[in-house]
Amino acid sequence: MKSEDCNATLSQREFAAAHRVYLGLGSNLGDRRHHLDTAVRLVGERVGTVVRQSSYVETAPWGFQSDHPFLNAVILCQTALTPRQVLRLTQQIERDMGRQKPVNSPRAGRTYADRPIDIDILLYDDLTVDEPDLQIPHPLMTRRDFVMIPLREITST
């Protein structure tokens, strides 16, 4: 799938008032393409209008060893929600899609493991947030080609 406009139904006034949030998506278990397609649909239903979507990029696991490669993408979503609300809803989507907290992890989400879906907030407007469970911009995104390549794809159009 090439970069494209997705569900771009906001009026000019709504578009100007909405926040722009870039989300990184990844899956390395099960039907990865289906998981990413489902996550994009659920973000569109629960978080806001998905305006752009990158191509899918297959990559090796980052930060841990696994025989299961990832399929990754980045989407741009227009939302009226706060960053905290976006975090809460994307984490709920992950749980609804079967993501479980790693066993024996004191800070779930900080331990890397195989997963059916992962959704990270990469950017939210020009906002900077530095809280224990929410960092924007995502602190590791510039070190991850699986984020930066699809992000560049949808920001260069």
Q: What is the mean pLDDT of the chain?
A: 85
Residue 153 pLDDT > 80: yes
CATH match of 4-155 with 3.40.50.1100: no
Residues present in the chain in total: 157
Between residues 100 and 14, the one the model is more confident about: 100
Q: How far apart are the first and last CA of the chain?
A: 15
Do residues 52 and 157 lie in contact, with contact meaning Cβ atoms separated by under 8 Å? Answer: yes
In the chain, % of residues over pLDDT 90: 64
85 Cα distance to chain centroid: 14
* φ/ψ bin of 7: left (φ > 0), alpha (ψ from -120 to 50), beta (otherwise): left
Q: What pLDDT shows up at residue 17?
A: 59
Between residues 80 and 10, the one the model is more confident about: 80
Write out pLDDT tens, residues 102-112.
544 444 445 67
Confidence band of 27 (pLDDT split at 50, 70, 90): very high
Q: What pLDDT shows up at residue 157?
A: 60
81 Cα distance to chain centroid: 15
Residue with structure tokens 């297959």? 58
Write out pLDDT tens, residues 37-96.
999 999 999 999 999 999 999 998 877 788 899 999 999 999 999 999 999 999 999 999
Q: What pLDDT shows up at residue 123?
A: 95
Which helix (H) or strand (E) element contains residue 146?
Answer: helix 145-155
Write out pLDDT tens, residues 115-152.
899 999 999 999 999 998 999 999 889 888 889 999 99
Between residues 147 and 5, the one the model is more confident about: 147
